[in-house]
Amino acid sequence: MARKSNSKSENKKIAVFDDPAKMIEAFVQLWIGRARKALIDRGNFSAALSGGKTPGPFYHALSTAVTETIWQNSHLYMVDERHVPHSHADSNWGMIQREIIRNVSISEGNLHPVPFAKTAEESAVQYEKELRRFFGRSCKFPAIDFLVMGLGPDGHTASLFPGSPALYEKVRWSVASRPETAPHSRITLTFPVIQNAAEVVYIIKGKDKAVRVKEILVDGNEYLPATRAQSRDGKTIYLLDQDAAGLLEL
Ligand code: 6PG
């Protein structure tokens, strides 16, 4: 059962779930709803996915619930990636291949992983070129339809970590970051790209996230990167389990 709360504005919604299956179903319906709108508006749908441990079952549910027509007109990007080969156990793209790509009919030309180059910086440069190939070299920032975000226990999201120089990037679409509190150098979308998305959907589970969820959604603590990683003109939706929402008064 979800308890919903429209906090502050229509563009920011919080939904709390005590049933994991209903949380996954809500995510799937958000994806399908935005995809259908994008296909009607433009004939294609762009989604950028985060990694980590939480989203796997949510992505797997997409692979059985979303129609072939939507998949064939969808383009999959990455919100962030670890600087490892896609075959590495810690690769976010590797997880997405296992949970979605090998289970659905989507053409290679619609798949846009972060390239694994010699350095994380070179990967970020190549990834931005790939993004510009699809969204256009002249546009200031890409308008990605649907972003899937997670939340780290330190308040990071994507691979935008507290105190990182990547937080101050105002021009580039993707940059390298070197977290002190997590493994691997990273490649991440920047705040301007995240803020330009039509829909940003957070999937947050676990007691270890509860304090940060309160600091972000109630206190608006700007020191935490996730507080700034919201859609500027579109929707930002927080799907929380009971544990992650434990300090919210809904
Ligand atoms: C990554 C993710 C990262 C993740 C958070 C939460 O590459 O690790 O993109 O931003 O969303 O760290 O991770 P969990 O879902 O594993 O808690």
**Each residue's pLDDT tens digit, 203-231:** 999 999 999 999 999 999 999 999 999 99
Q: Are strands 235-241 and 12-17 parallel, antiparallel or unpaired?
A: parallel
Residue 56 CB less than 6 A away from ligand 1: no
Residue 155 CB less than 6 A away from ligand 1: no
- Residues 148-207 have pLDDT tens digits of 999 999 999 999 999 999 999 999 999 999 999 899 999 999 999 999 999 999 999 999
* pLDDT for res 7: 55
- Residues 108-124 have pLDDT tens digits of 999 999 999 999 999 99
Closest residue to atom 15 of ligand 1, CA basis: 54
- Residues 40-84 have pLDDT tens digits of 999 999 999 999 999 999 999 999 999 999 999 999 999 999 999
Residue 150 CB less than 6 A away from ligand 1: yes
Name which of 72, 114, 98, 212 is nearest 202 in CA terms.
212
pLDDT at 3 over 70: no
CA of 81 to the centre of ligand 1 (A): 10
Residue 152 CB less than 6 A away from ligand 1: yes
Candidate from 49, 54, 99 with most ligand 1 atoms within 8 A of CB, to mutate: 54
Residue 80 CB less than 6 A away from ligand 1: yes
Confidence of residue 137 (pLDDT cuts 50, 70, 90): confident
Beta strands in 64-212 (DSSP E): 74-78, 80-82, 146-149, 174-177, 186-189, 199-204
Name which of 198, 194, 193, 202 is nearest 233 in CA terms.
198
Report field, pTM of the whole predicted structure over 0.75: yes
Which atom of ligand 1 sits closest to the CA of residue 208?
17
